[in-house]
Amino acid sequence: MTVHQLNELLLVCSLVLLIAVAAVRISSRSGLPSLLLYLGIGIAMGQDGLLDVKFDDAELTQVIGYAALVVILAEGGLGTKWKEIKPALPAAAVLSTVGVAVSVGVTASAAHYLVGLEWQQALIIGAVVSSTDAAAVFSVLRKVPLPSRVTGVLEAESGFNDAPVVILVVAFSASGPVDDWYVLVAKITLELAIGAAVGLATGFLGAYGLRHIALPASGLYPIAVMAIAVAAYAAGAMAHGSGFLAVYLASMVLGNSKLPHAPANRGFAEGLGWIAQIGMFVLLGLLVTPHELVDDFWPAVIVGLVLTAVARPLEVFVSLLPFRIPWQEQALMSWAGLRGAVPIILATIPMVSGVPGSDRIFNIVFVLVVVYTLVQGPTLPWLARALRLDASSDAADLGVESAPLERLRGHLLSVAVPESSRMHGVEVGELRLPAGSAVTLVVREGKSFVPSPTTALRHGDELLVVATDPVRDEAERRLRAVAQGGKLAYWLGTGGPAPGRHR
């Protein structure tokens, strides 16, 4: 590549990113899922589009897609709250294993008997579309406030179910006979166990190191966090385990470890996640040839209808039967099983493996994802309200950033008071922070001042709270409790230290 070609490439990439950023604004106003807009950008640039870019490298697309998925899972894991996901882990684990098997069986049968595909092609499609997409799920959950149990199950499922699905797709795409079912189950179990062990070990070791090693610049912490997450994926994959599960678990451990500059870490990861999504979807849009999709439109609609109306609800019902989850939540989880880039990326595996009819598999999966994402994404908020599962009225959590003051053996907490916080109207003295902590500065409407005990806090305020090591966690718990329950937080049962322990 010459310097001139590099300049052209940088110009095109920057323009695509800017258009994609603008598309996010359009998406948020129209309710249209952003992934469809990114796919549209790729299609517009591709073979039947305006620029007529010729791109048909399925193997390169698969490699870049895997790399993008690693970043997306890392970003999702960093933003996953342990207190929400912990109760959901058993249900998510069953959905990601037993549920996937149910979905594959039902969807593959529909592809074979209703569409007329050979059993190998039908099984590949069944496996490919049985994985919910982490990027789509994380993106929607940011916009749709749902109960914590529903959010926890959906987030964990999307982080866990890539591993068994990848194993199934690779097995079904092999040129020789498919392994017996018990061999597949053993492989899946082993890979998940190795991936979980590597991910948890890497996450805990990384968190320990970042808490005890003071880096010279705050901007190095986000880089270190992402490097640890990517290392977890690579180590897990090289150990013949599930790298996807490893990166998700390692990131979840890091995100819940009270690391220095945690909001900055998440913000950096979120930015990388957006770049990964944009690049991945645009590349997938380039790979597809639109005029070839016409013949496979109705087969994709039929398979998708069975997947959405039969396979996914049955998967949820069978998997969650032991957990006594209300039918309203099960109905919402059934409809929220969103597909996105992951199934399309997995559809490149049979193309690379040379499976007969792999082009048709890719086209069916592509159309299915586009059509049903267009249907499910915009209607999910409506369904949540209809089922009375909209949690938008809940008090918003605080964004608390901790910067270590190594020499002073203390912490500086940066606290933002959002619009829905019940900290509004509470006086500084009524916070009753534990001894060893204090509100030292308030930033309001661009001006900063040192508050008095009678200073009433307002929406939009930013507080600087200094806390010594022994009471740092207690101070944060008290601040979060007041944000949720107001000045009577302790008596209302929203948590926080007992009143007698406050000064």
Residue 183, domain CATH? 1.20.1530.20
pLDDT band (50, 70, 90) for residue 501: very low
pLDDT band (50, 70, 90) for residue 319: very high
* Chosen domain end from 356, 386, 416: 386
Please tell me the distance from the alpha carbon of residue 187 to that of residue 184, in angstroms, as a whole number: 5
Q: Do 354 and 488 have their domain in common?
A: no
Q: Of 163 and 409, which is predicted with more confidence? A: 163
Query: Is the pLDDT reported for residue 117 higher than 50?
Result: yes
pLDDT band (50, 70, 90) for residue 115: very high
Mean pLDDT for all residues in the chain? 85
Please tell me the distance from the alpha carbon of residue 411 to that of residue 319, in angstroms, as a whole number: 44
Is 479 within a domain?
yes
Query: Is the pLDDT reported for residue 194 higher than 90?
Result: yes
* Chosen domain end from 386, 416, 446: 386
Instruction: Supply 104's token pair.
Output: 């594959």
**pLDDT tens-digit series, residues 471-485:** 888 888 888 888 888
Instruction: Supply 154's token pair.
Output: 């959906």
Query: Is the pLDDT reported for residue 410 higher than 50?
Result: yes
DSSP letters, 323-334, are GT--HHHHHHHH
Q: Do 333 and 441 have their domain in common?
A: no
What pLDDT is recorded for position 490?
A: 61
Q: Of 381 and 346, which is predicted with more confidence? A: 346
Query: Is the pLDDT reported for residue 502 higher than 50?
Result: no
* Chosen domain end from 334, 363, 386: 386
Query: Is the pLDDT reported for residue 307 higher than 60?
Result: yes
Find the mean pLDDT for residues 170-187: 83
Is 492 within a domain?
yes
pTM above 0.85, yes or no: no
Instruction: Supply 238's token pair.
Output: 């090289």
Find the mean pLDDT for residues 361-387: 88
Q: Do 382 and 458 have their domain in common?
A: no
Give the rounded percent of residues in the chain with a pLDDT score beyond 70: 90
Number of domains in the chain: 2
Q: Do 150 and 283 have their domain in common?
A: yes
The phi and psi torsions of 55 (rounded to 5 degrees) equal: -145, 120
Q: Do 350 and 407 have their domain in common?
A: no
Q: Are 100 and 131 in contact (CB under 8 A)?
A: yes
Q: Which of 50-54, 169-173, 465-469 has the lowest mean pLDDT?
A: 50-54
Q: Do 317 and 269 have their domain in common?
A: yes
CA distances from 342 to 134, 216, 237, 271, 348 (A): 8, 38, 18, 19, 10
Q: Which residues of 96-120 are buried (b: 16+ CB within 10 A; e: fewer)?
A: bbebbbbbbbbbbbbbbeebebeeb
What pLDDT is recorded for position 110?
A: 95
The enclosing domain of 427 has a CATH number of 3.30.70.1450
Q: Do 208 and 75 have their domain in common?
A: yes
What pLDDT is recorded for position 364?
A: 94
**pLDDT tens-digit series, residues 69-105:** 899 889 888 988 888 788 888 998 999 889 999 999 9
- List beta partners, residue 438: 466
Q: Do 204 and 107 have their domain in common?
A: yes
Q: Are 146 and 332 in contact (CB under 8 A)?
A: yes
By residue range, what is the domain housing residue 403?
A: 399-501
**pLDDT tens-digit series, residues 1-57:** 788 888 988 898 898 888 888 877 776 665 566 777 888 888 888 877 777 778 888
Query: Is the pLDDT reported for residue 402 higher than 50?
Result: yes
**Which uninterrupted H or E stretch holds 190?**
helix 181-212
- For the chain, how many residues are written? 503
The phi and psi torsions of 175 (rounded to 5 degrees) equal: -75, -30
Strand order in the sheet with 447-449: 399-405, 410-416, 462-468, 437-444, 447-449
Q: Do 169 and 307 have their domain in common?
A: yes
What pLDDT is recorded for position 127?
A: 93
Q: Are 287 and 43 in contact (CB under 8 A)?
A: no
